[in-house]
Amino acid sequence: MTNKQGAGKDYFILYPFCIPVKGAESSVVYNLQFGQLKEIPNSMNDILELLKKATIKEVKKEIGKASVGTLNEYLRFLLNEGLGFYTNEPERFPRMAYAYQSPEFIKNAVIQYTFNQYPLKPVIAELDNLLCKFLELRIVTDTYSFDALVAAVDYTAGSTLRAIDLIVKNAPQISKEQYFSLYERNKKLKAIVVYNVEEDTTVWERGEKIDFCKEDFGVEAFNRHYPRDIFIVNPDYFMEAQQYNPYYNKKVTIDEHGNIKNCLMHPNSFGNVLRNSIEDTIGKPEFQRLWYAKHDLIEEVNMLATRYAIHVSNNLEQRADGFYTLIK
């Protein structure tokens, strides 16, 4: 071996939490322990595939003398980046099992609310029965009172919800101090965004932030797709994206009229909270169809090496062959 650190070692393997994924143009190593992505050439990914099954000596023989220098360069890179190591006992370091399990019937929900189209309390109670953990509550009117806002947030007390993001249209009759008091009142609130204010301000409370935004979060702002250059790198998301579509999986949204949807951006709905139970609605195969639109089945997305680290929030159309195309 030309690398002293590999002297006397027959194998080179990646750490179990470092997983290479090949794309059309390049590959990426997902470092799931540190939440990082490291881009590598596809030729390095091909070498890593060979190293999974063979010794370094055997791989050198297979690739030929002309490519040995490249192999040594790749090994130095992977070692210096902390992605892999030399060993004589690869069997002691099994690969990570790709298994995703989630006990919730609904994992997260997004609710648009105006205080007068439908009652919020029974909706929160249904989400509680479905073991929902995360809620984004969007107040899209500015005619609410502070007491009404407090009551709406208080409906979540004692529920299974762990974290709530509250996005509210600025109501002139409510002061910043009242928003602060609401934040202190409910410890499940992880973020408050008050939009349509006169100037942008961020205030930190409890280590979390309250944002006051000038932007008027109308239809266009809420309908923006999740950016493809923002990555989510952790074991749960990586494994979920291989079996399901993380943006849609176990998610329910309710628009300001009470319509039950996969996503607020979609025109179609599957029921209404005034007439249908959320549990019955989300149990329909047609509602769950997009849950199983995993990223490997989405045209264009399945060519990206970063496909297990992105949100695909586009509406999707299923083809006869089972694959999906993006509705742009």
pLDDT digits (tens, 9 = 90+) for 74-89: 999 999 999 999 999 9
| Structure tokens belonging to residue 40 | 């590598």
- In contact, 281 and 275? CB cutoff 8 Å: no
Alpha carbon distance 108, 179 (integer Å): 24
| Structure tokens belonging to residue 109 | 């929900």
Amino acid found at 58: E
In the block, residue with structure tokens 């959320």 = 278
How much of the chain exceeds pLDDT 70, in percent? 93
Alpha carbon distance 313, 40 (integer Å): 27
Q: Is 235 exposed, middle or buried (0-12, 13-18, 19+ CB in 10 A)?
A: middle
| Structure tokens belonging to residue 180 | 């602060």
The model's confidence at residue 95, banded by pLDDT at 50, 70 and 90, is: confident
How many residues are there in the chain? 328
What global pTM score does this model have?
Answer: 0.88
| Longest Cα–Cα distance in the chain | 77
Given a cut of 60, whether residue 4 has pLDDT beyond it is no
pLDDT reported for residue 210: 83
As a whole number, mean pLDDT of residues 109-136 equals 97
Alpha carbon distance 101, 222 (integer Å): 30
pLDDT reported for residue 100: 85
